[in-house]
Amino acid sequence: MHSWAAFLALTALAASTDTLALGSLADVEVVDRVSGETLGLHYFHGEYWVAGRPGAKYAVRVRNHSGGRVLAVMSVDGVNVLSGATAGVDQQGYIFSAGTVYEITGWRKSQWEVAAFTFTDAANSYAERTGRPANVGVIGVALFRERVAPVAEAVTPPRVVLPAPAPANSAAQAALGAARVADAISPQSRSALLPAPRLGTGHGEREGSYVEYAAFEREEARPNEVIRIRYDSAENLLALGVIRRLPVRPPVPEAFPDDPPGFVPDPPG
């Protein structure tokens, strides 16, 4: 089975703080490409959230620290970022060599181009414009270890190890498990609370981004790890209680507000 490979396009990036990344096989972060900032994670009702800025381009940064190659099958709003199909964990993804870092910046249009990820109103998101609005507002990364061929003993002939057949595709596999779990807050109650339109991911302008095909055999049919990050605007996350508003300290009244500190000042001139 062939998968998209990103290893020829990988570049070294600065280390990130643990509070901004998720994952054990690989660190996954969301980066605002306009400001250059890594978006901080907010934990709420068992979910991790980031606050996106409407109109900003963003990227999903993956850093492989597993010690071997991993395959990252990625979805945005329940859509596979490589094929545009409704996301399933058995689909194609990006291959990351050990120790490499790469920023996935958009919907892949060819081996040479992507359409930039942009935070936009949900109604203008790629998923909603293609008739799939149910999972708008979530980024998913399913990580797979690579199957390593066993080393044959010197006294025995080499053995052929056949991979286990992949399970038939099903409704449960139709999308990343992360995108199929019921919301901690129901869509109905959420819409009533939101002061601004929900955020989704748009199909932005074309950008150069080169990748190659490469073979990858998964260690197991199911992912070794699934990472989910939900997102919306800071305004909406404040309204939902995901981001807690800092208490405003009222001004303290002064007994002698006109009492200047210090000593006698010099005369003017």
Residues 52-84 have pLDDT tens digits of 999 999 999 999 998 899 999 999 999 999 999
Beta-strand runs (E) in the chain: 2-5, 26-32, 42-44, 47-52, 58-64, 70-76, 79-80, 94-96, 101-104, 106-108, 113-121, 138-145, 199-208, 212-215, 225-233
Query: Can you tell me the mean pLDDT for 198-213?
Result: 94
Q: What integer pLDDT is reported at residue 152 of this predicted model? A: 57
Which residue's structure tokens are 């990472």?
227
Q: What integer pLDDT is reported at residue 23 of this predicted model? A: 82
Q: Is residue 269 part of a domain?
A: no
Q: Which of 199, 205, 206 is nearest to 242 (CA)?
A: 199
Q: Which residue has the higher pLDDT, 99 or 156?
A: 99
- What Cα–Cα distance (Å) separates residue 130 from each residue in 60, 124, 133, 170, 238? 22, 10, 8, 21, 29
Q: Is residue 130 part of a domain?
A: yes
Note if the pTM is more than 0.75. no
List beta partners, residue 4.
213
d(CA 75, CA 229) in angstroms, rounded, equals: 11
pLDDT interval class at 22 (50, 70, 90) = confident
Q: Is residue 261 part of a domain?
A: no
User: With left for phi above 0 and alpha for psi between -120 and 50, is residue 137 left, alpha or beta?
Assistant: left
Paired tokens of 169: 């595709």
For the chain, the first-to-last Cα distance in angstroms comes to 86
In sequence order, the 6+-apart residues with CB closer than 8 A to the CB of 67 are: 98
Q: Is residue 256 part of a domain?
A: no
Tally of domains within the chain: 1
Q: Is residue 245 part of a domain?
A: no
Amino acid at 253: P
Residues 140-172 have pLDDT tens digits of 999 999 998 776 555 544 444 444 444 444 333
In sequence order, the 6+-apart residues with CB closer than 8 A to the CB of 215 are: 1, 2, 3
d(CA 234, CA 236) in angstroms, rounded, equals: 5
d(CA 118, CA 151) in angstroms, rounded, equals: 46
Q: Is residue 31 part of a domain?
A: yes
Q: Is residue 196 part of a domain?
A: yes
In sequence order, the 6+-apart residues with CB closer than 8 A to the CB of 14 are: none
Q: Is residue 204 part of a domain?
A: yes
- What Cα–Cα distance (Å) separates residue 18 from each residue in 10, 15, 150? 21, 9, 34
Which structural domain, as residue segments, surrounds residue 180?
2-149+173-240
d(CA 198, CA 229) in angstroms, rounded, equals: 15
Paired tokens of 80: 């596979």
3-state secondary structure of 215: strand
